[in-house]
Structure 1
Amino acid sequence: MDRTPHSLLPSIQLDIADWFSDHARQLPWRSADCSPWGVLVSEIMLQQTPVVRVLPRWQQWLERWPTPAALAAEPAGEAVRAWDRLGYPRRALRLHAAASRITEEYDGEVPSTVAELKSLPGIGDYTAAAVAAFAFGVRATVVDTNIRRVEARLFSGLALPSPSLTAAEMTLADSVLPLEEAGSVRWNASVMELGALVCTARSPKCSDCPVRDRCAWIAAGEPEPTYQPKGQPWAGTDRQLRGAVMAVLRAASTPTPWDVFFTPPVLLHEASLSKPLKHLHALGSEPSRLERILEDLVKDGLAERTENGLALPA
C-alpha cells in the first residue's frame, strides 16, 4: 500500500535525481558513448553478480566482442569460457543466443523497443525494460531488487519488498515513474543507485538518504521485516560442484575424458592434472552425484559429449 502522499512525489523525484548527479558511480555502461550492445551485456552480467566482479569481465568481453555479430561468429562454448567465474554460466549461453538472433533478424543492431527486446532468447521483463531505458532513452518501468527495496520503504513503509515481485509493486512502480522520457530514465537509474549505495538490504545508511524526511518506513518507526531473506549457500552445494566442473572444461583445450572426472587422484599422474581438476577431486564428491552434475550440464547446454570426452559446447 502506498503511504506517501503523491503531492510529495515531484520533490522526491527531484531530490533523488540531484543526489544521483552528485554520487553516482562512474560505470562504463553508463557512459554516453556506450553502445546498446554494451548496455545489454552489462545487464546480463549484473544479474545476481556485484559490479566489482562484472567490471573487468565486461571490459574484456567488449574488447573481444564489440558487436553482437562478433560474438555470434564464435562457438557458444567460447562465450562460456570467457564468462569465467561470473557464475550462472547459462547467462553466457543466453547472451550468445541473443547475439545470434540480433545478427540474423535485426541486422546486427540491438532492437530498441521493449517488445522486440523481450523476443530475444533469455531476455525477460526486467532486462528488456532496462535496455530500452538505459540504451535508448525509452520510458519503461525498470524494477530490479534495489528499486523494489527503495520503493517499498519510501512509499509503502515496508522494511523489505515481498520475496517475489507482485502486481501491486509493479503498479506502484508505474505510478511513480516520471511521465517525461528523460526524467523516467533518470529516475530508474537514480533509484537503482540509491538502493545499491544507501538504501541497502541489511544496513541502510538512512542518514545519507536525500529523502529520509519523506520516507514512509522511517515515519512508521522502521518496522522489522516480516521475513528474513535467505542467503545462497555455496560450500557443499551442487552449485559449487557445477562451478568446479565448468572450471575444468574452461581450462581444457581438448575434451576431458569422462573417466578422468571420477578417477582417484592417486591413480593419475600429478603432472597431468590441471589445477581446476585437482580442485574438483579435492571436493570429494560421491561419484553418483558427480555423474548427475555432468549429465545436468549436458542437458543445460553448458557442455557436450564428444568421442573424446566432455567439452564446452561447439
Structure 2
Amino acid sequence: MEKQTITIYDVAREANVSMATVSRVVNGNPNVKPATRKKVLEVIERLDYRPNAVARGLASKKTTTVGVIIPDVTNMFFSSLARGIDDVATMYKYNIILANSDENNQKEVTVLNTLLAKQVDGLIFMGHELTDSIRAEFSRSKTPVVLAGSIDPDEQVGSVNIDYVAAVEEATRQLLESGNKRVALATGSLTHPINGQFRLKGYKQALEKAGVAYDESLIFENEPSYQAGLALFDKLQKVGATAVIAGDDELAVGLLDGAIDKGVKVPDDFEIITSNNTKLTEMTRPQLTSIDQPLYDIGAVAMRLLTKMMNKEEIEEKTVMLGFDILKRGSTK
C-alpha cells in the first residue's frame, strides 16, 4: 500500500482547528493556547505529520538549507570540518546538503549549480582553490558564501582558516633548528593558493631567517594520499632531504611507512611534521608531530559566519584567523 502524504490540511481537520493554527504550532509561534497546542501536537504525533521544508520555504522564501561543497568526503581533514559545520547548522536549525566535488574544478561548478537550483540560503565551500569559473558563479548567484579551510587571497569571499604562512614558518624553523640542512616541503598543487602562496611563503621565510639558501628541488607537489607518500620517500632520499613538512596527514603516513620500508629510522635519521592533526597522526608508530589547527572550530566558525551573512547581521571581519599550535610527537627529535 502506498504511504499517503499527510498534509497540514489533514492535521487541521483532525484537530478541528484552522491551518493557520497548525502552522503557528509547527513554527513555534507563542500565540497559541496551551490546550490547543497540546491537541495539535498530539494529532501531529498520531498522523506522523512532517512539515514539508520546501513548501515552508516557498511560503517564507527561505528553505533554511545550506549547501556544503566538500572536495573529498573520505579525507579526514574535510570530514572533521564538516562535523563543526553540521553541529552549528543544527543549533541554528539549518538543514545541510553535502555535495562531493572530487577535487575536480569542472565538477565543482556543476555541483554548485545543483545546490543553487535547490534554492539553498547559503554555501560553505571547501575547495583547494577559487577558480575564475567558481568565482563567477558565486558573484552571479548573490548567495552568501563562506570558505572553510581554504583561502581567498583577494579576500572577496568570507573565510575561516589558520595563518598558514606562520604555521609552516614555525614548522620549518623547528626542523632547521634540530640540525636538518635539507628540509623538504611536500604539499598539493602549487597552483592552489594555500600551497603556492601561503605555505611556500612561510617555508621561504624560515629559510631566509636561518640563512639557508632556497632550493627548488626540495619542493614536491603530490596527491594527498597514502600511496603518494610511500612513493615520495625515495624521491626525498635522492635529493638528500633529512626532514619534510607534509601538507596532508595521509601523505605523511605514507612518508613514514616509506621510511620504515627503507630501514630509515624516524626521527633519528629522518624527521616529519604534518599539517592537519587529524586522528591519523596518533595511529602511527611513531606518532606524527603536527601543526594543530582547530578543524572542528574552523567548520563551526564558518557556519556561524554564514548564519550572520544569511540574516544580514553585522560582520566585523570576513576573513577569520584561528590560532594554531605545533604538537610535538615521535616523528621529530
TM-score bracket for the superposition, by shorter chain length: under 0.3
**Structure having the larger proportion of residues in strand:** 2
**TM-score, normalised by the number of residues in structure 1:** 0.24
Bigger radius of gyration among the two: 2
